[in-house]
């Protein structure tokens, strides 16, 4: 599925929520469902179930699961992770913009970036209208 198709599908889907996407991102970043579960203070079975649900919803495998080798992202999984990270960056930017440039008192949606006043997320993602212009999406 093309990147824009995924973005539209995830946005329109009622099944894939932020929590599931956070579980997927943690599993991808850790390359291990058990470590992702420890990081998110949940059970490995919860991570596995949510990742499986996302894979079913998308109709594509996101991980190659190999005993003793952890969970390696497929090409589809790498592309999806990039899109999920961009979405979390956009959420951080929106959260920051909504606070008038001040950091919200709650924790950020994804690590880093919230509260920056230079219109750029810690990951290099540009926020707001100037960010959209920098990305060519405005």
Domains of the chain: 3-80 (1.10.10.10), 83-135 (no CATH)
10 contacts 86 by C-beta, under 8 angstroms: no
- Percent over 70 (pLDDT), the chain: 59
What's the confidence (pLDDT) of residue 9? 52
What is the model's pTM? 0.64
Give mean pLDDT, residues 8-22. Answer: 69
Q: HSE on the CB side for 106, CA within 13 Å?
A: 7
Backbone angles phi and psi of 39, in degrees to 5: -60, -35
Q: Is 44 exposed, middle or buried (0-12, 13-18, 19+ CB in 10 A)?
A: middle
Q: What gap in Å lies between CA 67 and CA 65, rounded to an integer?
A: 7
- What pLDDT band is residue 28 in, cutting at 50, 70 and 90? very high
Output the average pLDDT for the chain: 75
């Amino acid at each position: 599925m093309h990147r824009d198709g995924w973005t539209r599908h995830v946005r329109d889907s009622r099944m894939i929520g932020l929590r599931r996407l956070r579980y997927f991102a943690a599993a991808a970043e850790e390359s291990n469902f058990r470590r992702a579960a420890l990081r998110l203070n949940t059970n490995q079975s919860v991570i596995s179930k949510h990742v499986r649900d996302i894979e079913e919803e998308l109709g594509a495998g996101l991980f190659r699961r190999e005993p003793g080798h952890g969970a390696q992202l497929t090409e589809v999984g790498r592309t999806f992770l990039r899109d999920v990270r961009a979405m979390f960056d956009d959420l951080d930017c929106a959260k920051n913009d909504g606070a008038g440039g001040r950091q919200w008192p709650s924790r950020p949606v994804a690590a880093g970036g919230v509260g920056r006043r230079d219109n750029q997320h810690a990951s290099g993602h540009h926020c707001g209208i100037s960010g959209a212009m920098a990305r060519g999406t405005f």
